[in-house]
Amino acid sequence: MAFTDEQLAGLQAEAAQIIARYPKSRSALLPLLHLVQAAEGYVSMDGVEFCARQLDLSEAEVTAVLSFYTMYKRKPVGDYHVGVCTNTLCAVLGGDAIYASLRSHLGTDGDDPTPDGKVSLERVECNAACDYAPVMLVNWEFFDNMTPDSARDLVDGLRAGADIVPTRGAPRLVTWREAARILAGFPDDQATGGQTAGGPTLAGLRIARQNGWSPDMADQAAAGSGAGQDRTDAGAHNGGPQ
């Protein structure tokens, strides 16, 4: 899309704020791409040209980064972009079945949004939430322990405008463009009120407290093991035990 003069002026002002955070301007490319995505809903060739101009880069350099990261889209996606993890553990526990069910339910291809523009779908790589598998993301917020039925209910709720709250993390679900603006580094209220860790994540901490374990004990055990190894090595060096 082509930016209007008003849009361009606003983007340039915000781009300047982003670039000022970095000692070298080219380090601002990732948040600048998020800024453009927040404005367009994706990153068009006009967006590529804008980033290149702000950072004194070639369009080829910007495109190389843009095409490497799957969080940046080259065409419009839904207001709520759904990612289904189908890496090993999630797949074994039902991720593939969830993805297939949603693809059939939504009737879309690739990143294409539903006709109402509300929801789009893709497979995503591991999001380090294996203790809640199978996991889905909506605009990068977690939805844990999903099933084909709960996944269909979720996307139906998104399309109907229901009040959807992530399982963990942010206290509310924002739109795709709002999420992109947050990722560009602008202030938001998403860091307050949400639950960042659930029971499975805290299980190890709970067991450690029940047994009176502490990090200091682990350090002492490691130090003792190392001393024993040193003595063993010394004995071997001197021809065995004396």
What's the token pair of residue 83? 């990612």
Of residues 154, 179, 184, the one with CA closest to residue 77? 179
One digit per residue, the tens of pLDDT, for the chain of length 242 reads: 578 888 889 999 999 999 999 999 999 999 999 999 999 999 999 999 999 999 999 999 999 999 999 999 999 999 999 999 999 999 999 999 999 999 999 999 999 999 999 999 999 999 889 999 999 999 999 999 999 999 999 999 999 999 999 998 888 899 999 999 999 999 877 766 666 777 888 888 889 999 999 887 767 766 776 555 554 454 444 444 44
Burial annotation 168-202 (CB, 10 A radius, 16+ → b, else e): bbbeebbbbbbbbbbbbbbeeebeeebeeebeeee
